[in-house]
Amino acid sequence: MSQILLRSVVSIVLTLLVPAQLLGQDSASGMVHVNGTAWVNGTEVPKSIAVSSGDMLQTKQDSSANIDTNGSSVMVLSDSLVKYEGSSVGVDRGSVRVSTQSGFAAHACEVKARPANIAPTQYQFTHNDRRVAVIAMKGDVIVEDHEGSKTVSEGQQTTRDDGCEVAAKKNPKKRPGATTAAGGGILSSPSALYTGIAIVGGITTWVLLQDDNPLSPACPTQNCQ
């Protein structure tokens, strides 16, 4: 492969890879603030950390965490495991308390809760022992599952089967539960993204330093005819 072709390939990769990944990170980012002990993707959080869509957040039994994202606030209560998804959270187990005015949703398997109106709304979503409980603390909340939808009025609550068995029948390859493996694709986390950029950048530098007419054993100098 010629040096010119190599340079073209690397340029195309950089053009497609870097902007798309960076935009994806920015559009679904949030900040986590921890009270006690919590982990993001298995790494303990000191006090606060930025998260991206696909990151997993786990709290200890005597701790909690708060996700601030796009004008919404999600309190992850003690002993909970959730997946941050940008405009929603998947609750594998435990409870979250959502305060939003932009329609932020919470879900577990076949059950999803979201504000009934684009207005200040607060609700609690709990997923334990194959059951989901939703409490409408402020404003009305719509709860949907495989059987239909129901509006839970402010001050009321409802309990549903999580529908994990139904979800497993629809997609046998996906394990029962609200979330999938943390991190998503190979470049979905910031560290992996920056590593990828560094590798491609290194390749680019190496290619640009190469001469279009490299030396060969048959011609140890560039003065050969």
In a domain? residue 44: yes
Encoded amino acid at 160, one letter:
R
Domain span including residue 106: 30-181
| Cα–Cα nearest to 99, from 81, 85, 79, 119 | 119
The total number of structural domains in the chain stands at 1
Percent of the chain predicted with pLDDT > 90 = 58
In a domain, 8, yes or no: no
For the entire predicted model, the pTM comes to 0.68
Instruction: Please give the structure tokens belonging to residue 126.
Output: 């709990």
Asked if residue 195 is part of any domain, the answer here is no
Summarize pLDDT for 174-213 with one digit per residue, the tens: 544 444 433 333 333 444 444 455 554 555 555 455 555 5
Structure confidence at residue 50 as a pLDDT band (50, 70, 90): very high
Has residue 3 been placed in a domain? no
> For 100-131, how does the pLDDT look when each residue is reduced to its tens digit (9 = 90+)?
999 999 999 999 999 999 999 999 999 999 99
Amino acid in position 34: V
Question: Which CATH number belongs to the domain containing residue 126 in this structure?
Answer: 2.60.120.1440
DSSP letters, 68-96, are: EETTEEEEE-SS-EEEE-SSEEEEEEEEE
Alpha carbon 75 to chain centroid, angstroms: 16
Q: Could you tell me if residue 220 is inside a domain?
A: no
Q: 22 in a domain, yes or no?
A: no
Determine phi and psi for 213, rounding to 5 degrees: -130, 75
- Report if residue 119 sits inside a domain: yes
Q: Say if residues 65 and 38 touch (Cβ distance below 8 Å).
A: yes
DSSP 8-state symbol, 175: P
Q: Which two tokens stand for residue 152?
A: 């839970």
Domain for residue 23, yes or no?
no
